[in-house]
Structure 1
Amino acid sequence: MKLVVISAGLSSPSSTRLLADRLEAATLEHVDAEAQVIELRELATEIAQHFVTGFPPARLAAALDAVAAADGLIAVTPVFAASYSGLFKSFFDVLDKDALTGKPVLVGATGGTARHSLVTEHALRPLFSHLRALVLPTAVYAASEDWGDEGLAQRITRAGTELARFMAPASRAAAPDVDTTAAIAPRSLTGAITSVDPADGFEVVPFAQRLAALAAG
């Protein structure tokens, strides 16, 4: 299995890379996978070239291919203007629109203050949901004062465990051959969810069948 870690930190070292590394380590404690870290600051020029020319340079093409082939993804960004960074967004703008469909993604962010802690919910989660990724329940935000705090360590452990569980072959084998995005939606016109635990598998009941059962009862 392949785990890809995206870090959008701009400095070296950076708190963004530190959080990405800790999330990677927490995940690898529970799943046997090969990990690859992609530092977006090293690809900034190539990303800009891709926007202008429409063709990715070799290093960027390799990074995009790695993300598309990954079994799980960790994506961490610093907070800029109360949202993800422009570099972070630019990378996913040039990614193929179907590359993340059904792929488990663990999102994280770093910032100077806890006031930006909801960036994972109002910015990152909608972005990856739009890309049809399976965004994990636990997102991790680390403010400057969080480092060394037991609460951050617990969130990292919980998030890594979740990602490992969704990457595990046993979890995948338990799920029937259904569209993952449809299976995790709260409700739809075509079905209703009766299970959301990956260990139990996803079960979608057709709306007409559900309606008939209610009428009979």
Structure 2
Amino acid sequence: MRLAVVTAGLRRPSSTRLLADRLTEATVAALGTATVEVIEVRDHAHDLVNHMVSGYPSDTLAPAIDAVAGAAGLIAVTPTVSASYSALFKAFFDVLEQDALRGTPVLAAATGGTARHSLVLDHAVRPLFAYLHAEVVPTTVFASPEDWGGAVAPSRLADRVTRAAEELATRMTRRGDPPPRDPYAPVPFDTLLPGA
């Protein structure tokens, strides 16, 4: 079972990556075993811009795109920027082929400076994946600074992480790994024209 993790944190260390790691650990525990591919979008920033301009992925970006398109499930975590997902997060999903995520179960998560930004998951992230024909699990996970400290908040975050991971694992098991994409499959002529 292949699990792709896309994390769009801008700094190192990053609370976005920390949340992605917790979600990954919980999902793998729920699955029993999985092959995990983590994509740090920050590492592909220049390649994403070049791909948007040229229409072709670089040798380092192509494997990341293939890992996401070929996964049985996806964990996608973005920082909240201007009350939405980050531009870098969106850029990664903009370069995927149109049906790359069709039917893929997705665990959507976000981090932000205040709990007031938690609606980003419902008003921005969930619609993005609905447009891409992915299946977002019912439980999304938002973490603000208070979720990482204090006496009660970390256990609430852990509960949400566990519930979301179990939902993703159930859907991944049901779906299984998609068949590998044939790089030599013929491309319909009408799909080639828009990029010309």
Please give the range of the TM-score, normalised by the shorter of the 2 chains: 0.7 to 0.9
Aligned length: 171
Cα-to-partner distance string for 1:43-89 (whole Å, 9 max, x where unaligned): 00000001111111011111101101000000000000000000000
Cα distance in 2 for partners of 1:172, 1:23 equals 19
Cα distance in 2 for partners of 1:51, 1:4 equals 22
Q: Which residue of 2 aligns with 1:77?
A: 78
2:72/2:175 contact within 8 Å kept: no
Q: Which residue of 2 aligns with 1:123?
A: 124
Cα-to-partner distance string for 1:13-66 (whole Å, 9 max, x where unaligned): 100000000000010011121111000000000000011111110111111011
Q: Which residue of 2 aligns with 1:156?
A: 161
Cα-to-partner distance string for 1:66-116 (whole Å, 9 max, x where unaligned): 101000000000000000000000010001110000000000000010110
Q: Which residue of 2 aligns with 1:8?
A: 8
SS at match of 1:118: helix
Cα distance in 1 for partners of 2:133, 2:52 equals 22
Letter matched to residue 91 of structure 2: S
What is the TM-score normalised by the length of structure 1?
Answer: 0.77
Q: Which residue of 2 aligns with 1:112?
A: 113
Structure 2: unaligned runs, 5 residues or longer: 177-196
SS at match of 2:146: helix
**RMSD, aligned CA:** 1.0
Offset of residue 172 of structure 1:
3.9
Q: Which residue of 2 aligns with 1:215?
A: none
Structure 1: unaligned runs, 5 residues or longer: 174-217
Cα distance in 2 for partners of 1:77, 1:17 equals 9
Cα distance in 2 for partners of 1:23, 1:131 equals 22
Letter matched to residue 118 of structure 1: L
Letter matched to residue 161 of structure 2: I
Cα distance in 2 for partners of 1:74, 1:19 equals 10
Cα distance in 2 for partners of 1:162, 1:33 equals 15
Cα distance in 2 for partners of 1:122, 1:35 equals 28
Q: Which residue of 1 aligns with 2:62?
A: 61
Does the C-alpha gap of structure 1 residues 12 and 127 become closer, same or farther in structure 2, counting only changes over 3 Å?
Answer: same
Cα distance in 2 for partners of 1:27, 1:102 equals 18
Which protein has the larger Cα radius of gyration, Structure 1 or Structure 2? Answer: 1
Aligned-residue identity in percent: 60
